[in-house]
Amino acid sequence: MRIDKYLSNLKYGSRSEVRTFIKNGLVKVNNKVINDSHFKIDPNKDLIHFDNEEIIYFDELNIMLNKPCGYLSANKDDLHKVAIDLIKEPYNRYDLKIAGRLDLNSSGILLLTTNGKLAHILTSPNSKIDKEYEVVIDKSINNYNDLLKGVIIKDGKNNDYLAKALKINKINDKTFHIVINEGKFHQVRRMFLYLGANVLKLKRVRYGNLTLGDLKEGEYKLFKREDVLWQS
């Protein structure tokens, strides 16, 4: 890959700006100053510095973010804060795609990846990846096991849809853990609404084999695809 394309792809500047930086001696490859913007590099092997700072390169970058409420699962929005804004250097230089979105008022595991195929796999209903949610509702209910049998809700196109829980555990009168392997429009909220309860808080605590653990809201960590795709 040409060094100017590499640096512009990582958002160090436009192609013309990067060429100026290179001409001015701000770029080193394997500890040698490079003045030729056509210089070919292998980002997986070469040591590259920009303005005396080492550039960390990822052939594939996968991030698990603990999204707080109040952030959209989006890269850009004119009205709300977006989850991508929580990602800092050097990871924010990569074009991250969001897999398995959470709505504005939900929190928990949000997966980001530079791999478009992986993003599709993670969100496709055909993948049948388990997702576990912690749910707080507005009143006590006794009919929660009906969700294991399945209830009819509306999907994103307002069509009837049979939604089933794989598992459901009662934590206390108003708190439950529910596992599903699909992700229809506001599915968990609509499932509890069918039972006559409004969801006050919704947090995704597990995605495949990835668990939230002690990751605080707004924090993130890297993961490997096998961490989420392999299931027992």
* Total-model pTM: 0.90
Are 19 and 37 in contact by the 8 Å Cβ rule? The answer is yes
Quote the pLDDT of residue 232: 42
Quote the pLDDT of residue 21: 97
110 vs 106: CA distance, rounded Å: 10
Q: Identify the CATH number of the domain defined by range 62-125+210-229.
A: 3.30.70.580
What does the DSSP assignment read for 85-111? GG--TTGGGS--EEES---TT-EEEEE
Quote the pLDDT of residue 230: 59
**Superfamily of segment(s) 3-54:** RNA-binding S4 domain (3.10.290.10)
Here the tokens at position 7 are 């640096």
Q: What is the pLDDT of residues 29-52, one digit of tens each?
A: 999 999 999 999 999 999 999 999
Report the 10 Å Cβ neighbour count for 126.
8
Q: What is the pLDDT of residues 91-144, one digit of tens each?
A: 999 999 999 899 999 999 999 999 999 999 998 888 889 999 999 999 999 999
Mean pLDDT across the chain: 93
Q: Domain locations in the chain?
A: 3-54, 62-125+210-229, 130-207
* Catalytic positions, written as ranges: 103
Q: Tell me the fold of 130-207.
A: Alpha-Beta Plaits (3.30.70)
Residue 220 phi, psi (nearest 5)? -150, 165
- Domains 62-125+210-229 and 130-207 alike in fold: yes
